[in-house]
Chains A and B, each alone.
Chain A
Amino acid sequence: MASAGELINRGAETRARPSGRSRLWRWWYTSESLRGYALLAPTLMFMVFMLLVALTSLVAQSFMTNAGANAEFTLDNYAAIFAPNGDIFRILLLRSLWMSVLITVCVVLFCYPIAYLLAFHVKRHKVFWLIVITIPFWTSYLLRVFSWKVILQQEGVLNSVMLWLGVIDAPLNTLLHNRSAVIVTLTHAWAAFAILPIYVSLEKIDRSWLEASIDLGDSFWRRFLRVTLPLSMPGVLGATLLLFIRNVGDFVTPALVGGVSGTMLGNIIVSLFTDMANEPLVAAVSIFMMLSLTAVACLFVLLIGGRKRLRGVT
């Protein structure tokens, strides 16, 4: 039994297919792909315009020797990455990927509850609270990192409070200049970027589905796991992708609070680019990082998307 919507659709299509027009025109009018691409065209053209020359020259450079005008084709740059001496690149890439995963997970876990509260339990002034939550992130990123230094340092806020509460006897000096400092700082720095997409997804959920679930006798957790969480996946997925990709390449926070154990691949790329005269090698390392990142991101999307399909939710 066709639904009202389907009937309207069918009617619209019949009306929209006039006779007497050329087949080409009809094909254009009814081809979804073409219409989609027409809408996408401005964005795609802009991207291609900006990136084409930049990226092709980067790729080309990575296959050249470091000889300026007399450069020849070579695979040496990529070989250097996989050589024993290139272990710094491989290990730092893994370290950066892993830290980024941790950060992304922390951010999403931290932000989901507040997005949920905002979407479901704040009745009035939603927009106001949404914007208020993002205002701390209008102050400079650099200043926020400095603030975290003040909080985590040996004579800093956190140590002082813990001493005063009697939780510790002497100030801890393991809070700063290591990997966990990087994770904490970046988790805070990206909080707003996760709250917004997740909120948008949650807010969209049709309340009638939730009410149906209540009527069917589901407990809060069952309702959450069967209805809310799957339907908020687009937002969670979007936030995860954005955060994960951006955090792998970060170099400011690791430089200021990371110390030795918190150094990430971004720091090495910046150092290679600015200190070394070997542009082809930098190009190769960058492309290596970009490809690895894309592969992991695709894997992640497949994982999440795959699970969605298994559950039978669109």
Chain B
Amino acid sequence: MNFDEFHTKSKSGGYSRRQINKMLASLGIASASMMGVSRSALAATPSVDLFTWAGYDSPEMFAEYTEKYGGPPEITRTSSNNEARAKVRGGFTPDFAVPSWSHGAFWIDEGLVEPLDISRLPRWSEMFERLQNLEEGDVKHFVPLAWGNTAVVYRTDMVPPDLLEDSSWGILWDERLKGQIAIRDAFMGAMLPAALWGGVGDAYDMTDEELDLVGDLLRTQRDLVRFYWKAEADVQQAMASGEIAVISGWNSTYATLKAQGVPVGFMVPKEGMPTWVDGYMMIKGGAAPEQEKYDFLHAAMSAEAGAHLIEEVGYGAANAKAFEVADAEKVASLGIGDVATVVERGLWSVAVPVETKDKMVDLYNRVKSGF
């Protein structure tokens, strides 16, 4: 019998007092005799259901939870923010999901997540201050976990140095690199660089005129683009084979290519560097006990988990301590310079208002289909 059944049954009066007393007595004897045994043998079975990305599912990401509860959480994987939300909306109820903050507002608006009690998360203050205040207001739903910069990743042996002097997103529109550019096949990922280079007011809340400008920029770019990519594996391969010279990519793109010996560079554009954040959100209707859920969050917010992200996955960690704990060389390989400055001044992605978002999706689909 597992903890859940016991919990439910005892609550509904399924056990008589005598039976409970007997159980408590046997538990007392058991714990007395188990003094020398490891903690994991005593603990109940884990019951947290985690809906996360591949890469965030290694044991190091929640090591303390595994130790305390005798096993890792049940993991279901996703490879897309939108498909994950569609699945939860359709009735899938894990305990936690790990969306990006740019989508977080949609999860909240659609009533899919629970508000969190920050006072039960002692590691909250270990995070970068900028990230602690990412979600405006006093009620928090989102616990930042990992972040990454979107900047220009380029082949050092294929791009003329003078193109890089300007440190601008405009490099993705340069005629000399025609046919060697790859753009991210996602409406935000394609439109943000265009918006920034076009000099719009707020890239996350554009007016109709600004959208028209972005549309035109994307159409001009389309003739120079070799292809639009959906998967990291896809574009990294193209870059490694020399088919592509310049893309908008993440720190992990740069770090992975470099580790494989491909000559690449990471350029931070002056117009701004969009930075995404992934984090945990507690789903309504999740079946695990509340304390266990908070224990999980506590384990997930540890500096060690963050260090694992930096070293093995190539993402930045939300926990500031993680940068001190991690291997300094690996931190440097992310291509960020001074982490604190980047965090302070980064263009943290937020949710776009729904009407604007729909217009952006429509515009992007049209451009991508050749219209």
Contacts and interface: CB of A to CB of B under 8 A. Distances in A.
Main secondary structure of the interface of B (DSSP, over half): helix
B56 interface: no
A288 to B, nearest CB: 15
Interface in B121-173: none
A256 B369 contact: no
A274 B357 CA distance: 12
Contacts of B179: 173
A275 B82 contact: yes
Contact of B80 (A268, A274, A277): A274
A259 B361 contact: no
Contacts of B187: 271, 275
Contact of B185 (A155, A255, A272): A255
Given A153-B241, A277-B358, A92 B226 contact: no
A: contact size bracket: 20 to 34
A110 interface: no
B288 interface: no
A273 B86 contact: yes
Contacts of B227: 176-177, 259
Contacts, number: 72
A44 to B, nearest CB: 26
B93 to A, nearest CB: 19
A260 interface: yes
Contacts of B230: 255-256
Contact of A263 (B231, B243, B357, B370): B370
B242 A155 contact: yes
A259 B228 contact: yes
Contacts of B366: 88
A216 B122 CA distance: 93
B222 A271 contact: no
A261 B354 contact: no
Contacts of B361: 271-272, 275-276
Contact of B370 (A176, A261, A275): A261
Contacts of A88: 365-366, 369, 371
Given A88-B366, A177-B226, 7 more contacts: A91-B369, A173-B226, A267-B369, A272-B365, A273-B82, A274-B80, A274-B83
Interface of B: 80, 82-83, 85-86, 106, 179, 185, 187, 222, 225-228, 230-231, 234, 237-238, 241-243, 354, 357-358, 361-362, 364-366, 368-371
Interface of A: 85, 87-88, 91-92, 149, 153-155, 173, 176-177, 255-256, 259-261, 263, 267-268, 271-278
Q: Which 8 A-B pairs have the closest CB atoms?
A: A274-B82, A177-B227, A275-B361, A263-B369, A259-B227, A276-B361, A260-B370, A154-B243
14 contacts: A88-B365, A88-B371, A149-B237, A153-B241, A154-B243, A155-B242, A255-B230, A256-B231, A259-B228, A263-B370, A271-B361, A272-B365, A273-B86, A275-B361
